[in-house]
Amino acid sequence: MDLGSNLRARARVCLQQQEDEEMLVPHRELTEGPQPMEVLSAETVSASENQQVEDPPTLKYRWTIENFSRLNTKKLYSDIFHVVGYKWRVLIFPKGNNVDHLSLYLDVADSATLPYGWSRYAQFSLAVVNQIHGKYTIRKDTQHQFNGRESDWGFTSFMSLSELYDPSRGYLVNDTCVIEAEVTVRKVVDYWSYDSKKETGYVGLKNQGATCYMNSLLQTLYHIPYFRKAVYHMPTTENDMPSGSIPLALQSLFYKLQYSDNSVATKELTKSFGWDTYDSFMQHDVQELNRVLCEKLEDKMKGTVVEGTIQHLFEGHHMNYIECINVDYKSTRKESFYDLQLDVKGCRDVYASFDKYVEVERLEGDNKYQAENHGLQDAKKGVLFIDFPPVLQLQLKRFEYDFMRDTMVKINDRYEFPLQLDLDKDNGKYLSPDADRRVRNLYTLHSVLVHSGGVHGGHYYAFIRPTLSHLWFKFDDEKVTKEDAKKALEEQYGGEEELPQTNPGLNNTTFKFTKYSNAYMLVYIRESDKEKIMCDVDEKDIAEHLRIRLKKEQEEKEHKKKEKAEAHLYTIIKVARNEDLMEQIGKEIFFDLVDHDKVRAFRIQKQLPFNHFKEEVFKEFGIPVQFQRFWLWAKRQNHTYRPNRPLTPQEETQSVGQLREVSNKTHNAELKLFLEVEIGPDLHFLPPPSKTKEEILLFFKLYDPEKEDLKFVGRLFVKSLGKPTEVFSKLIEMAEFPPNEEIDLYEEIKFEPTVMCEHIDKRISFKSSQLEDGDIICYQKSLTSTNRNQFRYPDVPSFLEYVRNRQVVFFRALEKPKEEDFSLELSKLFTYDDVVERVARQLGVDDPSKIRLSSHNCYSQQPKPQPIKYRGVDHLVDMLVHYNQTSDILYYEILDIPLPELQGLKTLKVAFHHAIKEEVVIHIIRLPKNSTVADVINDLKTKVELSRPDAEVRLLEVFYHKIYKIFPPGEKIENINDQYWTLRAEEIPEEEKSLGLHDRLIHVYHFTRDSNQNQMQVQNFGEPFFLVIKEGETLTDIKIRIQKKLQVPDDEFSKWKFAFISLGRPEYLQDSDIVSNRFQRRDIYGAWEQYLGLEHSDTAPKKAYTTNQNRHTFEKPVKIYN
């Protein structure tokens, strides 16, 4: 699986995230933290109390959720339940996790508090109980090894929302939904200690977040030796950088796959593609990546010794032809292909797909062919193959667009593929007359790329025969395992399988489970080309500069590994000098004295005497041993780090290891020192001055308010009982000020969590000011009250405060969240009002309250879905913090009314259906939250064109093409949720206002029968409506009125069927049937489970608007930029 819902691996800047229909960690919005949830009733039933000790512990948990359709939260957690001390809970997305299906997962409830490296393995089933007919309960089983990266697992597309929310189906009874989970905890498989190289001889590829689709393709290409050899022979130079050169990055990757002992990273390759982190977290299509990558390589190979390799390996040709039947005319066109897309739907195997591919289409009747010089003619149209390539790539069309449902669907049907594929069968029926019949088109299967999951995401891996022997291997990201042929072939055919009940006492029905893991791409190699394609590839095929570079990388890696293993024998000594302070202060750092990670570090054996280490320092810096004095650093209680005291002569005779233990209470391997060196006026070294208890070492920084510049100017020993005025002349000289310049002194005390920098009284002693060894004094020219106003930051404290809190923020327009618009330098202490005022000024907006801001999600690299409320945060820093990370991005919107006013209003999106015109117009209605539906209707009337001035309007709740509610005029709008339901407004027809005693008002819905399902399931589409039917009225009478209402042409309407539908089952009607007899007298509210169904194909154009969309969606095609 690719991506944990919690994205616990924080380095994965989120992530895409993705959705696996079979087993998926949800694409969760980490941004807003846990959602509030009602306390819901739940009961647990132990299934393990009387089991034998050796049986794995199992528990069945039942969760009853009331008022289900009115849940106003995107996700909901159950109460916590325990299995052998482990805490679990069920996670549900009542309106789907960005899909039109219920999303259901099992979650490790305490994952956030578990120790690093935790792991647990469970087999489990999740079910939505059918409360009318238990045998229709939907149950799905899976297993997963839960860990910090993947702490929840389950099914993003568990069942369709239309089925769930249809009360006639039995999954919602009295608006109550019942969820069951059965969890069996088993012994953890030690994934982390598994050695792929040792077990199989091959290594895997690391997953960057959602790059399993790329990994499976790269492994397939790598294991075509001729392709690998060609990549090695692409010209590259030692000056190229892998991150900027696709050939070099691919060479490097293939070399490591061939010679490394551990899994290989793909970051250099994706960088060479020009991908950012976001691209690595978008799951793309394997076929698309394959084509784009091959096109890029083909282009890069031009003019080189390997030019034409891609064509030679993968390119075949077919002939499109149209041949007239009654005249002598034939049109042909030759086309090349690198892969073939084969139909899965309606085909039992690869041969059936090829049969369909070359199927002859008759062009006759209204569809005759316009033949040149012959006019319209009956003709045959088809495709035949001129030649097939040595490496045949077959893309199986597992994903199709379903026009009836206006969505992409995955085809999980059973589809067989042979180990040997004979494309010369039946006397070469797939071949064109021009084909070279001497070439034997017999192929052997090399690799099977598998997609596990649903249309909205999933996981990819590959089964490969690297040597075309009987041995198959599964390449699943980092892990490579040996597999038998059945696993690679039959188990990837798809279709359904019957699973035995894990606990027959719970459910006596057999359960057929759709296999969501199935073959998605097949690679065959022609038998006659096998020896050439499966050639030897060794080091002589690899450019010398590449071998040297990669061996050097490997040596460095081994060296670091060795260093790590021997770390306990060494101490790292970091030596800071005056030169480091000069270089860093005012440029890289402003607080404290030095960044110890940027000073010279020595790796010294612990048993080495410190005096010998001083010899190393002499070699490095040229400072004779007798002129070196070292000071130990100490971390103070206020978290600052300062030189504390010089080493004593006795300490310098100790070993480096002993000294580190004296200085370092945290027991890490580092010893931090400050090297004090005195240099005379003639630039010669001087012995260190004697240090008495009465003397303290102070460090001095100089501030220039005009340049807003802070720099280190030196250090001085001063008398503890002396006064600052005694060293003024020295400080003025260090600053190169005129001799009589007045100066002010400040002590830099700390900077976490806030800056503390206090004025020093010149008239009292250093000791009275509590100054000691290692303290920092910042000084500047004295300013008068007049000239202070000339500077933004006139004194040291104000400047340090500015530096501590300054923040450059990058602003983006919310509607263009990937495009940087402008940046502002702000202070983290700016209030909400300060920030929006600066943004408004930048954008030229007069009223800052019309600016609305949204924070940035550091993991998904997207705006948080909920904008920042007016004065909802105190300071800029609160806008930028996201969990334990701080962002520098904010998104802005310019509103048409002030934000406080907007927040006091309820905003509803209402689709108005005109009574006469065929148009639907979306209106945004904003009203005070305490308004009623009547207020919405009155407001809407001022915005729409009515068929007549006195027309009455009603507001309906429509969900998945069914009318669920007519809103009473007095209902408050505050609780109406238009995020998941469509609000539809329409005029009330006159006939409905004067219903007779025996008239019925019925629901009428469009539907089609979905043959994809195991049973012929009703699928609703289009716009539902009400219809008045009279007592004794026949279907013929009603059809006339429906045709007139919908304005359907006669020829089309004649194909429509009409059915009374109850509990989802259609009962087809005859023209003479009395329709009113089928409908019971009942209140129109809640009557959606009985309706008059109009069965026909959905040929209507899709509306120009969509509902149910997320606030932000990002879909990008695969692009390789370099």
Burial readout 922-949 (b: 16 or more C-beta within 10 A, e: otherwise): ebebebeeebbbbbbbebbeeebebeee
Q: Which amino acid is at 922?
A: I
Q: List, in sequence order, the alpha helices (H) in 716-770.
A: 728-735
User: CA 57 → CA 86, 90, 1101, distances in Å?
Assistant: 11, 18, 54
Q: Give me the phi and psi of 543, to 5 degrees please.
A: -55, 140
Q: Are 217 and 211 in contact (CB under 8 A)?
A: no
- Residue 4 and residue 149 in contact, taking contact as beta carbons nearer than 8 Å: yes
* Two tokens, residue 39: 């306390």
Q: Which one, of 107, 111, 112, lies nearest residue 93 by Cα?
A: 107
Q: Tokens 């065959």 identify what position?
A: 524
Exposed, middle or buried, 113 (CB in 10 Å: 0-12/13-18/19+)?
exposed
Task: Collect contacts of 421-424 with beta carbons under 8 A, ≥24 apart.
Answer: 421/350, 421/392, 421/445, 421/524, 423/354, 423/385, 423/388
Residue with tokens 């490790």: 108
Beta bridge partners of 757: 748
Reference 717, options 775, 641, 630; nearest CA is 775
- The CA distance from 916 to 1044, in Å, is 12
Region of 495 please: left (phi>0), alpha (psi -120 to 50) or beta: left
**What is the number of other CB atoms lying within 10 angstroms of the CB of residue 531?**
8
Record the tokens describing residue 407, joined without a space.
């969505």
Residue 11 buriedness (CB in 10 A; 0-12 / 13-18 / 19+) = exposed
Q: For 710, phi and psi rounded to 5 degrees?
A: -125, 130
In the numeric block, the tokens 């069942």 are attached to 159
Yes or no: say if 449 and 460 are a contact pair by the CB < 8 Å rule.
yes
State whether residue 744 is helix, strand or coil. Answer: strand
Neighbour-count burial for 319-340, b at 16+ CB within 10 Å, e otherwise: bebbbbeeeebeeeeeeebbbb
- How far apart (Å, rounded) are the C-alpha atoms in residues 1065 and 728? 97
Q: Would you call 212 a catalytic residue per the annotation?
A: yes
Output the 3-class SS for 384-404. Answer: EEEECCCEEEEEEECEEEECC
CA distance 857 to 281: 14
| Phi (first) and psi of residue 402, to 5 degrees | -95, 105
Measured CA to CA, the distance from residue 255 to residue 259 in angstroms comes to 6
**Catalytic residue flag (residue 324):** no
Q: What is the enclosing helix (H) or strand (E) of 618?
A: helix 610-621
| Tokens read off for 655 | 């070993």
Catalytic residue among 212, 324, 757, 778: 212
Cα angle for residues 1023, 1028, 1033 (degrees, 5° grid): 120
Angstrom distance (rounded) from CA 1045 to CA 156: 39
Decide: helix, strand or coil at residue 410.
Answer: strand
| Host H or E run for residue 939 | helix 933-941
Rounded Cα distance between 257 and 203, Å, is 6
Catalytic residue among 27, 144, 459, 1003: 459
Residues belonging to the active site? 212, 459
